[in-house]
């Protein structure tokens, strides 16, 4: 049995040498200062899949890492779905382009919650995303959050999975939001959803 100390929340402290141990949690002051901050994309031309978040949370803006908040299930789902050989820590995001993957957001500014965004911001973000995809030419674009996709692209009946219309020249897929606030999906079902996209990418569909 591990002898690592368990804090009040019940989770063991990070193992010595792990990325979570090397990078301390941002303070409340740092999180507050991160509001409206911009987070650079992890992107390169010709990727297999460009994942699109809704907008950066305060943890991501404070650390500089996408999907950085503890409890966000993007990185575990990416691994469960077969995109990465192991579960990456958010601080290892720059390894993604070497795997043919990238991350951007529909809306660039950070906020505490995605529901703080306006419909106008999502519509404008969809336009900017379309231009970005035309510039970088990924094979697939995967929007991580169906509600933001429906609003931004005026597709009120869109569901999960492959979409009938392309985005610029890329195939388009909608994935569930991996936020820990999304109780409709478990880590297992999120991983399965990512795995369906992985199978389509591998098949060249």
Q: Which DSSP helix (H) or strand (E) runs through 156?
A: none
Domain assignment present for residue 196? The answer is yes
Domain assignment present for residue 167? The answer is yes
Instruction: Indicate the number of domains in the chain.
Output: 1
Domain assignment present for residue 174? The answer is yes
Q: Does the active-site annotation cover 89?
A: no
The residues, ordered by sequence, that sit 6+ positions from 1 with a Cβ below 8 Å of its Cβ are none
CA–CA dist 3, 99 (Å, integer): 35
Percent helix, percent strand, percent coil in the chain, to nearest 5: 40, 15, 50
The Cα angle at residue 69 between residues 100 and 10, in degrees rounded to 5:
120
Catalytic residue chosen out of the listed positions 66, 72, 105, 177? 66
Alpha-helical (H) ranges within the chain are 19-22, 28-33, 58-63, 74-80, 119-136, 146-152, 187-203
pLDDT < 50 positions in the chain: 1-17, 20-21
Q: Does the active-site annotation cover 55?
A: yes
Alpha-helical (H) ranges within 88-186 are 119-136, 146-152
Q: Which DSSP helix (H) or strand (E) runs through 143?
A: strand 140-144
Read out DSSP for 159-191? Answer: -SEE-SS-BTTBEEEEE----TT-TT--HHHHH
Token readout for 40 is 């650079």
Chain Cα centroid distance, residue 18:
21
Give me the pLDDT at residue 14, please.
44
Give me the pLDDT at residue 11, please.
39
Domain assignment present for residue 134? The answer is yes
Nearest partner of 188 among 198, 178, 197, judged by Cα? 178
CA–CA dist 114, 56 (Å, integer): 8
Give me the pLDDT at residue 10, please.
40
Give me the pLDDT at residue 159, please.
95
Residue 90 structural domain: 42-202
Catalytic residue chosen out of the listed positions 55, 72, 105, 177? 55
Q: Looking at residue 57, which CATH number applies to its domain?
A: 3.40.470.10
The dihedral region occupied by 141, where left means phi > 0, alpha psi between -120 and 50, and beta the remainder, is beta
Give me the pLDDT at residue 16, please.
45
Give me the pLDDT at residue 4, please.
38
Domain assignment present for residue 194? The answer is yes
């Amino acid at each position: 049995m591990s002898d690592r100390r368990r804090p009040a929340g019940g989770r063991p402290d990070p193992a010595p040498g792990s990325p979570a141990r090397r990078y301390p949690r941002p303070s409340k002051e740092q999180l507050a200062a991160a509001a409206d901050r911009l987070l650079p994309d992890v992107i390169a031309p010709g990727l297999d899949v460009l994942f699109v978040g809704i907008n950066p949370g305060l943890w991501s803006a404070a650390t500089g890492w996408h999907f950085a908040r503890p409890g966000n299930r993007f990185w575990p789902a990416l691994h469960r779905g077969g995109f990465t050989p192991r579960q990456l820590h958010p601080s290892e995001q720059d390894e993604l382009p070497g795997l043919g993957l990238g991350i951007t957001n529909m809306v660039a500014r950070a906020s505490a919650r995605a529901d703080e965004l306006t419909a106008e911001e999502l519509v404008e973000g969809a336009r900017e995303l379309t231009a970005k995809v035309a510039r970088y030419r990924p094979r697939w674009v995967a929007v991580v959050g169906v509600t933001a996709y429906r609003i931004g692209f005026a597709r009120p009946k869109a569901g999960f999975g492959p979409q009938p219309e392309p985005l610029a020249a890329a195939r388009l897929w909608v994935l569930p939001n991996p936020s820990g606030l999304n109780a409709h999906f478990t880590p297992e079902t999120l991983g399965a959803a990512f795995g369906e996209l992985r199978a389509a990418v591998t098949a060249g569909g």
